[in-house]
Amino acid sequence: MAKRQKVTALHQPENELAFDPVDPIARQCHPLYEGQYQMPTQSIANMAKIVALWMRKGITGGTIVGESNYGKTEAIKYIRRIRRELLGPGVAVTPIPMTKLPDRKRIFWQYVASKLGFAKMSSRPVEIDMLNKSIAGLLRVCEESRANRMVLFLDDAQYMTHEYYLDLKPIYDALVNEHGKRVLVVSVGENALTNFVEDMKAEGKTAINRFLRMHGRFSGFSSSDQLE
Amino acid sequence: MLGSYDSILQFPVGSGRSYTESLLPTAFGGGFRLKALAHVTMDRYKTLITNKSDFDNQVMSMKTSTVFAQSLLDSLADIDCKNLVVEREQIDQALGDAIGVIRA
C-alpha cells in the first residue's frame, strides 16, 4: 500500500511543483509582505513632472513639501529609477538623506563625503579635504552616469539650516563653475521646510535663494476617487 | 491607488496576475476588486481618526494606504471565495493596523 502511494506521488510532479499563489509559504515571499514594491500614485507622478519641469527650465533649486509617510522618499527612488525616460540622457540623480545632520560645518562636508563613499580623511585640513571629497563624490556620480546634468535630492530637508545651505554653496559652485555641470538641488521635506523658507524670506537671508527658488507640494489621498 | 493592486502590480512579475488576483484568485475570478472598496475605506478612515489630533482627518498617507491594503488582503486571503463580501469590521481592522503602524 505504501509503495503504491509513492508511485502515485511520483506521477504528479506538476502538482507538487506548481506555483500556488495562495500557498502560505509563497505568500510570505509576496512583495506585498516584504514591502518591496513601488506603488505608482498620482502624487509620485506629479513630483516627477515638477522635477522634470524645473530641470527643463534650468531652475537651480526648489523645495517639495509633504507630510510624513506620504511617500516622498519613494518618489525620489522612482525618479531615480526612471531618470532616463523622465529627464533624458546625461542626467544623474543623487539622493542624500539629511536625517542625521551634524552640528558643525566641517562635519557637514564630512557627512556629505561619507554619503558619497569617502570614509578616510587625509592629512590635509579636514574642512577642505571633506569639501573636495564631497565635490569629487558628486563628480564621480556624474561620471558613472555619463552626465553633465544632475538632480541632487536633499531628503528630509526639514533638518537643513541656513548654515548647511551656506555649506552647500561651494559644492554647488565647484560643480557648476569649475566643472561645467548643471545642477538642480531639490530639498524634499516635511512642513517645517515651508516655515524655514518663510523665515529666510522674512529675515532677508538671500544667500541661499538659489536653492529655494521654486516650491511644490506632495499630497496624500484626500478623496475616495484618489484612493480608488 | 487601490486599483493598482487589481491591475498594474503583478506577482510574479510579468505573470499577468495582479496582487489582488494572486492573493484572492477565487474572489478575483468572481469579480472582486479592491478599488471597489475605496469609498467605504475613505469614509471609515475619516470616521476612525476623528478626534485623533496626530492625524490629518482629510488626507490619507501613502503608508497608511499601503499597510491597509496589505492587512486587508492578508485577512481576506484566508477566506477567499467566489462571492467574497468584505464587512465593515474587516475594513476597520485593516485601517486600525495601518494607523497603529504609523503611530509606532
| Amino acid identity, position A193 | L
Q: A24: which chain B residues are within 8 Å (Cβ-Cβ)? A: none
Contact call for B22 and A219, based on CB within 8 A: no
Q: What is the complex's ipTM, to 2 decimals?
A: 0.85
The distance in angstroms from the start CA to the end CA of chain B is 24
- CA-to-CA dists, residue A54 to A46, A57, B20, B58, B78, angstroms: 12, 5, 37, 29, 48
Does A220 score more than 60 pLDDT? yes
- Place A6 in a pLDDT band, splitting at 50, 70 and 90: very low
Q: Which residues of A118-152 are buried (b: 16+ CB within 10 A; e: fewer)?
A: beeeeeeeebebbbbbbbebbbebbeebebebbbb
Q: B12: which chain A residues are within 8 Å (Cβ-Cβ)? A: 19
Does B35 score more than 90 pLDDT? yes
Does A2 score more than 90 pLDDT? no
Q: B11: which chain A residues are within 8 Å (Cβ-Cβ)? A: 21, 30-32
Does B84 score more than 70 pLDDT? yes
* Span A38-97, pLDDT tens digits: 777 888 999 999 999 999 999 999 999 998 888 899 999 999 999 999 999 999 999 998
pTM metric for this prediction? 0.77
Computed over every residue of chain A, the mean pLDDT equals: 83
Contact call for B42 and A227, based on CB within 8 A: yes
Contact call for A70 and B62, based on CB within 8 A: yes
* Span B43-81, pLDDT tens digits: 999 888 876 655 665 788 888 898 999 999 999 998 999
Contact call for B59 and A67, based on CB within 8 A: yes
| Residue in chain A lying closest to B44 (CA) | A224
Mark out chain B residues that contact chain A at CB-CB < 8 A. 1-4, 8-9, 11-12, 17, 19, 21-25, 35, 38-39, 41-43, 56, 58-66, 69-70, 73-74, 77, 80, 102
Bridge partners (DSSP) of residue A190 are none
Look at residue A193 in the predicted model and tell me its pLDDT: 95
Contact call for B23 and A224, based on CB within 8 A: no
